[in-house]
A and B are shown apart, each in its own frame.
Chain A
């Protein structure tokens, strides 16, 4: 019908460029229309007895006819650029990853793909263009035909493989790419940067999706996010993402090796396909804990391998050390110390100004520690993992010490927490100091901001999800526990929050709230403000058995030190059958160390331990890298040693879960959104395997490759004459109805 009315297929209009073929200038067209319009209006004005409405209707129809007639006279046309038959190639890419072996009904995805490749549409493509065939999983490789396929790949790098093919095509006339796949990209190669690079090459990519988009009988544990490190006894909150098609309840279980840790039921809504939930648990034993998360299978679920994921969390043996500098004796100091006294994972080292000339030190390791007061040397300060500054004026610290405090956060990667006080925060001049720059809020300097007035604390939405502020696993109970705390003894007003800052707790003053516990990342570390010195009222105001005050300080202290980097640390990342190692080595002042040798002994799930030398990174000082082959999935641990000559500088350990070949089990559903995104970004289209008739025509209008230009006349389209006829007939009918000539 479209083609009968408009003479040409829809794609020609989509891809063609509209022009007027007439040699008459277009201003003449406008002038002719205006002259005709004046004549029509003048003529109709002489017939005022018809009435305004009737005149307007007749006039509008006549003007439309005039416009259409002039439009036809100026020869409207389409300029269409299309691939030249016989001079272009089309790249056809067939996904041969393991997920293409999933059986759906009586056919595997690969059989569906083969059927699509053998369809008439592909046959027609082959007549006009040379077909270059590729297979891909982790990499793309050319093939003569698809009768013999390589072994199924254990990973799908869709974008990486496509880029390989497109780069090869730069030297030849490739008009388009056709990809037959389930879209199960799992190599992490398709990010916005890759997509932009693919689109910039200008070759339309047409994607043919195979596989079911919804699999109601399957549950998939799509993602587990847990911190890499936690302190013994800390409540850990792991975020799990479940993929599902349909409503139900999924039971998630967490194990440390074989030891059961926690379970929770996750309600899966009918209107969602991805549900996120949190599961809380604690780890007591130090070491690298091998955590396994698994979802109970659904009835009739065929693929259970995508119901489980594993991750490793380090529980350090040595306690982290927090330096707390306090300018005057106060109850917050006492009760914070008490709360942390029984926590073996954190040691609070405190330096308290008890008198104008005297310090009192607690929690020190040696008599010399902090003997002369606050450290004057970065090496001494950077031994601590976090720094708490209480009711102390900024001016009490020398400019060099203030710079060290700033460097403690930005360079060393430690946490800094400032407490409220009559000489703290804004009232202590911190807003004008270099340290003020890294704090998460502006500090007012216009008069006293510290108030010894009672105020209730309110946990914010973000705070209620933070493991640091969880007083109960149950959300409602957590809210109740926060809401029933005694009022704080005091608070301090803050200025505006910095753009990257978040408030986890607020304080309620009359009808309004203001931030109380605020944090932001800064450099390699994090800064905090706790705008009160009066949480001690929670301890004194609650029964002895109530542990909320203790829990608050223990969890907050652990949160302060949880992400503080070590001087020497190794991280690892799986990439197919390889593990990429990255070591970072810093000296005691946390400056990158160079001119050293870093060696790692890698212990894999299978095979002998492997010793590798890490090479210095070309662009990042103090960073060393290596690749370790690891074909088997499982626990992967590393012991690394940094040396300068024969002198050992530092040692460290790490462990991780290496997953090789499991990624394909997590592609049970066709990833149609990804295939559509790829096609849309490149000017191609997404096709289903059973509706490919329009594919050859769509490919014909590609601007890539060798093209030809054709002009299609539009003036004689039946649609135009039909409209002209309808306009004239309409006028005639109206005149007849109104009995006017």
Chain B
């Protein structure tokens, strides 16, 4: 969901991206607009948002679905990471696109609303390289069969031969810090307001993933769920606390897994 602050920044990005894309790397410009021009304090871990272009040729920054829930989602979650783990995490998030040189400096990526993403062959190859070198990708906030199909369309360009599988309960990602034995669908705010926990035809939550040859998860998919909303609305009185708490736990397990496997 968009916040007012997010919409303001989107507007700025749209204008400046048109004139400045060639001058410096995309991530440098995005960082400046998202977080100001001052130097960012480097840390071991950064919540790194993947900037992708939308379907139908919509470029980065035009529609900005990749910015959904920004910045409250990462700000709230990083507070939890600071409080509950020993990870030296940057206080602000980062943003990077697949074609940026800086991509490989961020071994952890978060992509949101991936039912609307589009990776061309070049970007897919770049994502494949990133993941095989040891990068880790979490995709979130996509619902129903149509968005799944759209997501898979690009994901299959990344890994044509690797299956997308359900993550078994025994997988370490479910136990690194928290034993997440309870599979609860984490809804977005809109669904909660409607009195349900799902959107479109995505009634059943899925924790799916893609593994490498050594059995390590490279991609985690929170399908038919919206963890981003749960982080973003941690301070929203009418968003149920139990979903936020669980979303924090999933996120921390994902981060710890990515830093240990």
User: Which residues does A use to contact B, with CB under 8 Å?
Assistant: 327-331, 333-335, 337-338, 341-342, 352-356, 358, 360, 362, 422, 452, 489, 536-537, 539-544
The answer to whether B85 touches A329, judged by C-beta atoms less than 8 angstroms apart, is yes
Please give me the 8 A-B residue pairs with the lowest Cβ-Cβ distance, nearest first: A329-B259, A328-B86, A452-B42, A540-B104, A544-B132, A330-B44, A355-B85, A329-B87
The answer to whether A338 touches B134, judged by C-beta atoms less than 8 angstroms apart, is yes
**B205 interfacial contact with A, CB 8 Å:** no
**B107 interfacial contact with A, CB 8 Å:** yes
Tell me, in angstroms, the Cα distance from A392 to B127 when the chains sit together.
34
The answer to whether A355 touches B133, judged by C-beta atoms less than 8 angstroms apart, is no
The answer to whether A536 touches B256, judged by C-beta atoms less than 8 angstroms apart, is no
The answer to whether B44 touches A328, judged by C-beta atoms less than 8 angstroms apart, is yes
Tell me, in angstroms, the Cα distance from A330 to B214 when the chains sit together.
20
Interface residues of B in 101-139 (CB under 8 A from A): 104-105, 107, 129, 132-135
The answer to whether A355 touches B86, judged by C-beta atoms less than 8 angstroms apart, is yes
The answer to whether A333 touches B260, judged by C-beta atoms less than 8 angstroms apart, is yes
Q: Name A356's contact: one of B86, B255, B261 (CB within 8 Å).
A: B86
Interface size range on B against A? 20 to 34
Question: Closest B-chain residue to A335, C-beta based?
Answer: B134
Q: What is the minimal beta-carbon distance from A738 to any residue of chain B, in angstroms?
A: 91
Residues in A neighbouring B261, C-beta threshold 8 A: 334, 337-338
The answer to whether B214 touches A327, judged by C-beta atoms less than 8 angstroms apart, is no
Question: Closest A-chain residue to B216, C-beta based?
Answer: A338
The answer to whether A334 touches B177, judged by C-beta atoms less than 8 angstroms apart, is no
Residues in B neighbouring A341, C-beta threshold 8 A: 214
**A-B Cβ contacts below 8 A, count:** 80
The answer to whether B176 touches A354, judged by C-beta atoms less than 8 angstroms apart, is yes
Known: A334-B261, A360-B177, A540-B107. A354 touches B133 (CB 8 A): no
**B12 interfacial contact with A, CB 8 Å:** no
Tell me, in angstroms, the Cα distance from A334 to B258 when the chains sit together.
8
> Taking chain A's interface residues, is the majority helix, strand, or loop, or is none over half, making it mixed?
mixed
Given A327-B86, A329-B85, 14 more A-B residue pairs with CB atoms under 8 Å apart are: A330-B44, A330-B45, A330-B87, A354-B86, A354-B256, A360-B176, A360-B256, A360-B260, A362-B260, A422-B88, A536-B107, A539-B133, A540-B135, A544-B133
> What are 23 sample pairs from A and B whose C-beta atoms fall under 8 A apart?
A328-B87, A329-B255, A329-B256, A330-B44, A330-B259, A335-B134, A337-B260, A337-B261, A338-B134, A338-B216, A338-B261, A341-B214, A354-B85, A354-B260, A355-B86, A356-B86, A358-B177, A360-B176, A422-B88, A537-B105, A540-B133, A541-B104, A543-B133
Tell me, in angstroms, the Cα distance from A330 to B258 when the chains sit together.
10
Residues in A neighbouring B43, C-beta threshold 8 A: 452
The answer to whether A331 touches B104, judged by C-beta atoms less than 8 angstroms apart, is no
Interface residues of B in 157-195 (CB under 8 A from A): 176-177
Q: What is the minimal beta-carbon distance from B195 to any residue of chain A, in angstroms?
A: 35
Q: Name A355's contact: one of B84, B88, B134 (CB within 8 Å).
A: B84
Q: What is the minimal beta-carbon distance from A539 to any residue of chain B, in angstroms?
A: 6
Question: Closest A-chain residue to B44, C-beta based?
Answer: A330
The digit string for B12-31, where 1 denotes a CB below 8 A from any CB of A, is: 00000000000000000000
Tell me, in angstroms, the Cα distance from A354 to B45 when the chains sit together.
13
The answer to whether A355 touches B259, judged by C-beta atoms less than 8 angstroms apart, is no
The answer to whether B260 touches A352, judged by C-beta atoms less than 8 angstroms apart, is yes
Q: Which of A327, A337, A542, A544 has the most CB of B within 10 A?
A: A544
The digit string for B231-261, where 1 denotes a CB below 8 A from any CB of A, is: 0000000000000000000000001101111
Question: Closest A-chain residue to B258, C-beta based?
Answer: A334
Known: A338-B134, A360-B177. A331 touches B129 (CB 8 A): no
Q: What is the minimal beta-carbon distance from B141 to any residue of chain A, in angstroms?
A: 25
Known: A329-B259, A334-B258. A539 touches B134 (CB 8 A): yes
Tell me, in angstroms, the Cα distance from A542 to B214 when the chains sit together.
19
Q: Which of A327, A328, A335 has the most CB of B within 10 A?
A: A328
Tell me, in angstroms, the Cα distance from A542 to B260 when the chains sit together.
20
